[in-house]
Amino acid sequence: CRFKKHRWHKKILKCNDPLVFSIGWRRFQSIPVFSTEDQNGRYRYLKYTPEHMHCQATFYGPQVPPNTGILAIQRLTGNLPGFRISATGVVLELDASSKVVKKLKLVGTPTKIYKNTAFISGMFNSDLEVSRFEGASIRTVSGIRGQVKKALREGQPGSFRATFEDKILLSDIVFCRTWVPVEIKKYYNPVTSLLSKDG
């Protein structure tokens, strides 16, 4: 759903903090994951809600029609001072699978260096992982760009051969930037405090 922190709410909302949602006639507690849509259509994970901007919130709940209004409250119990409504929003789509991803930095170190080729270890755990990342772009801390070539037969499992634009040093640290999917917690707790006892 498209989600925005209410301007009168004092604190910003943190990812994976439970909220009580009021959507249509349903009231339930769930754990939202916040994200923002990049220009290339990727949903990038956010730790907190932006200050004066909309973001995407993905959470587990019942099926509701799109364009339904959403109200989010942090706590229902007690007479809390201040403004209680944490956020407002609107349902965009219903999807069983999540598309939220976050950045992952894989780090490795060179073991042997030839002219523009180096053997890197410590970045991957197996040859299968290396084969999945064949052709991926890597970089050293000093800014020399390179590419993953092939897994090595001997040496530590997960070691591979890489080519670089220039000769790298043994003290260089090599890293690979990737994206990893974020798991949405399947938590749904209906709030029944306003239901009448006599039916």
Could you tell me the sign of the dihedral formed by the alpha carbons of 94, 25, 188, 70, in that order? positive
Mean pLDDT of 140-158: 90
Instruction: Give residue for tokens 């000093």.
Output: 142
Q: For residue 33, what are the contacts with CB-CB under 8 A and spacing of at least 6? A: 15, 16, 45, 57, 58, 59, 98, 100, 182, 184, 185
**Beta strand pairing call for 174-181 and 137-140:** antiparallel
Query: Cα-flanking dihedrals φ and ψ of residue 32, to 5°?
Result: -85, 150
Mean pLDDT of 87-114: 90
Instruction: Give residue for tokens 């209680």.
Output: 84
The mean pLDDT of the chain is: 88
Mean pLDDT of 71-81: 76
Q: How far is CA 84 from the centre of its chain?
A: 27
Q: What separation in angstroms does the CA of 142 have from each of 113, 117, 153, 189, 191?
A: 16, 16, 28, 50, 54
Give the number of other CB atoms < 10 A from CB of residue 19. Answer: 21
Residue 70 CA neighbour count, 13 Å, CB half: 32
Range with the lowest mean pLDDT among 59-68, 79-88, 173-182?
79-88
